[in-house]
A and B are shown apart, each in its own frame.
Chain A
């Protein structure tokens, strides 16, 4: 085979800079507050998906309850800010850190499970979180949600830059991890856990770190989302939201950080177009999920990459 780069199967050229350029240039195309809102929503989902992709795509685990971390980050920061008067700059990192700690505590026993048992456990935990958030209405405002104090900056444009910057940091951190020996260790776990163990890789420790990192990303996005909207409801921690997040990761392409971003982008904007079809929204969403997974089981970005590689070979 011709001289392929020895350290990687695919090496996209400086994609982080490309993403930064995209984020910087996008406002030129955003015409009103509504489009900014969508862009911010995409960014927030992308942050969660980049982290979730580390867990699902690289470490080969599954989580059907990640919206729970999102919700806990959101409510954590909201409650500290609204009920205890903390400034958002303090409530956010503290809430995120607390969620990370929780993820660390739960992760240890849970990640001993694999496959469907793990799917069930994460699903159950996510539902538990959403039920607790909806029931403890004295603290959380119940199923109708609660108001969240604003950030020190307000307005669509300011939030766009905040979310955009956070996304860039998230992608940078994720890519660094993946390119490092620890990234190889994660992929090794996915490839063959028993062989990884025989090379001295502590499966439990690495799965746990992927789990905690993905929880931190989700909690950060959740907290930002709460302060941005000024409002938060338990629906943000629902099973449906968890499923949407996993779908974004799988749709974009597992084991691809940029796939996760693309997946978030496509599946966040798609329903916006579908609201035109009000009644058919669910039917179309379900159909899209099914068709894309049937015809592009590896996800959008890897399928496109392969198509491009094949086209290049034919073109020679």
Chain B
């Protein structure tokens, strides 16, 4: 049983990690917590379902869905975040929460309130690994989730370390003014960050849709969990987002398995709160020293 829980934990953990990365990237570039992040996940899943139902094959539907979400992300940044960049933390939180409500409302208009199915990427037959007591069954989709997430994280790491745009984003996250003085366009960095985060969220949404179905409000809990994972790992740390996401997934799965499935979320949030009380900067967060 343990292996089953661990597997399911890592699977959801990978999804949380992708969503958390989205939070981290936007936070790093703009110090904004984008509470609409979960809606990108929703768009990823719902758009994939729609494109597929319209007749497009999955290999086309998924990238199109991700592209749609990316567009929405850039629009969000241009129309809602940029005009309000001088506002206080609380105000910005309200703006992004308003955006998430708006997007959910649009989702019910563009689509509907029903649950949609997306077929698995490569088949529905469960695979069995191991044997006897240590065996676990897994859907092939799980392999897709884990594999694609790992590739995405690797690509992101390469992007931030090796490309000019990636380094520009990191520069802005450390010191916006200095980055500007170096000739970096902060506006472009912000747009790219939102686009990237939206793409990550949508990717997560498309990956998980065959397993967990998709509907207009899947984004709410996923967004909150992604936020929790990002904070747990250390807000602003990309590695922290991944670690936080995987940790949260595992905590939830173990909690659901060994304690009670009804209280798995309670268990997860309690652990996060306890972790924050003892490690206010998260697992991997830097201790920020305030100069007085």
A interface list, Cβ under 8 A from B: 56, 62, 64, 109-110, 112-117, 119-121, 123-125, 127-128, 131-132, 135, 194, 239, 243, 246-247, 250-251, 254, 279-290, 293-294, 297
Contacts and interface: CB of A to CB of B under 8 A. Distances in A.
Nearest to A194: B292
Contact of A135 (B92, B262, B273, B280): B262
Interface string B266-279: 10011011001100
Given A110-B277, A293-B91, A124 B102 contact: no
Among A112, A281, A293: residue with most chain B CB under 10 A: A293
A286 B272 contact: no
Interface string B238-253: 0000000000000000
A135 B235 CA distance: 31
A106 to B, nearest CB: 9
Interface stretch (B93-101, B114-122, B155-163): B93-101
A283 B263 CA distance: 32
Contacts of A239: 220, 224
Interface in B190-244: 220, 224, 227-228, 231, 235
A286 B101 contact: yes
A296 B100 CA distance: 19
Contact of A285 (B88, B105, B273, B276): B105
A113 B235 CA distance: 13
B277 A115 contact: no
Given A250-B91, A290-B95, A281 B105 contact: yes
B89 interface: yes
B33 interface: yes
B83 interface: yes
Given A110-B273, A286-B102, A293-B87, 5 more contacts: A112-B277, A120-B276, A250-B91, A289-B102, A294-B87
B109 interface: yes
A131 B102 contact: no
A128 B271 CA distance: 11
B280 A112 contact: yes
A280 B269 contact: no
A194 B290 contact: yes
B105 to A, nearest CB: 3
A279 B109 contact: yes
Nearest to A123: B224
Contacts, number: 135
Nearest to A290: B98
Nearest to B80: A290
Contacts of B108: 279, 282
Contact of A283 (B86, B109, B277): B109
Contacts of A128: 265-266, 269-270
B280 A117 contact: yes
Interface string B5-23: 0000000000000000000
Contact of A287 (B93, B102, B231, B272): B102
Among A56, A112, A123: residue with most chain B CB under 10 A: A123
Contact of A297 (B91, B100, B227): B91
Contacts of B86: 297
Contacts of B98: 247, 285-290, 293
16 contacts: A62-B90, A62-B93, A112-B277, A112-B280, A113-B277, A124-B269, A124-B272, A127-B269, A131-B266, A132-B263, A246-B93, A282-B105, A285-B105, A286-B98, A289-B94, A289-B95
Contacts of B263: 131-132, 135
A116 B88 contact: no
B273 A119 contact: no
A285 B263 CA distance: 31
Given A127-B224, A283-B109, A290 B102 contact: yes
Contacts of A115: 89
B60 interface: no
Contact of B83 (A127, A135, A294): A294
A304 B224 CA distance: 34
B103 interface: yes
Given A283-B106, A283-B109, A286-B98, A124 B91 contact: no
A105 B92 CA distance: 30
Nearest to B81: A294
Nearest to B106: A283
Contacts of B231: 116-117, 120
A309 to B, nearest CB: 20
B89 to A, nearest CB: 7
Given A283-B106, A289-B94, A294-B80, A120 B266 contact: no
Contacts of B290: 194
B286 to A, nearest CB: 13
